[in-house]
Chains A and B, each alone.
Chain A
Amino acid sequence: ILNVEQSPQSLHVQEGDSTNFTCSFPSSNFYALHWYRWETAKSPEALFVMTLNGDEKKKGRISATLNTKEGYSYLYIKGSQPEDSATYLCAFDPSGGSNYKLTFGKGTLLTVNP
């Protein structure tokens, strides 16, 4: 069982604040790191899939960075809005080989107060 840790578990910010959270994963046998956004009563939606060390991806006010050598990824949200409130999941793919299995972290629950 692979250890994928996310911190913090939950976070409350005010509208307009910028915030970030962390995903830690094993630094060996890396293939890909996924980020998902999961709103209450909905299903997870893919934000980013990152494969290269040093990679940075951006979608609107949300961006993510990747460090495969030290085994972490950061997700940043600039100027948080109430609609950003959701659980943000990361998932680690160790192989890309014959056993394609994502291991998910437990998520960071973000609440943005208006």
Chain B
Amino acid sequence: IAGITQAPTSQILAAGRRMTLRCTQDMRHNAMYWYRQDLGLGLRLIHYSNTAGTTGKGEVPDGYSVSRANTDDFPLTLASAVPSQTSVYFCASSDTPQGIDGYTFGSGTRLTVV
């Protein structure tokens, strides 16, 4: 089934540890995004990529990095996790950067930093 696969589904992580959240899509979408969802705050954009080889910062990029080596994969790395990064992380993609057909979302990764 075409879509976005995120891994892991959930993770408990010790503060200070490094963690990479994986995101893979099989729709050949050009643009990909990482959002975090926090109670009362809604979905906030962390980083995005308009096309393979390019990335950009969203609303809340601090403490996170991304790479886009190819079309399909868009990993999100927390270099040194802190408790405030406890959240549910959603990866999304769109056919074009304009997203005119809407975004396709993954099922999310629930991360708890202790």
Contact = CB atoms under 8 A, between A and B. Distances in A.
Contact of B56 (A45, A51, A99): A99
Contacts of B33: 102
Interface string A89-113: 1010100101111111111000000
A100 B99 contact: yes
Contacts of B108: 43
Given A32-B98, A106-B41, A100 B103 contact: no
B62 interface: no
Contact of A43 (B58, B59, B97, B107): B107
B42 A46 contact: no
Interface of B: 31, 33, 35, 40-45, 48, 50, 56, 58-59, 90, 94, 97-108
Contacts of A51: 100
Contacts of A98: 50
A106 B102 contact: no
- Size bracket of the A interface: 20 to 34
A99 B101 CA distance: 17
B100 A46 contact: no
B43 A43 contact: no
A102 B99 contact: yes
A104 to B, nearest CB: 4
Contacts of A100: 31, 48, 50, 94, 97-99
Contact of A102 (B40, B56, B103): B103
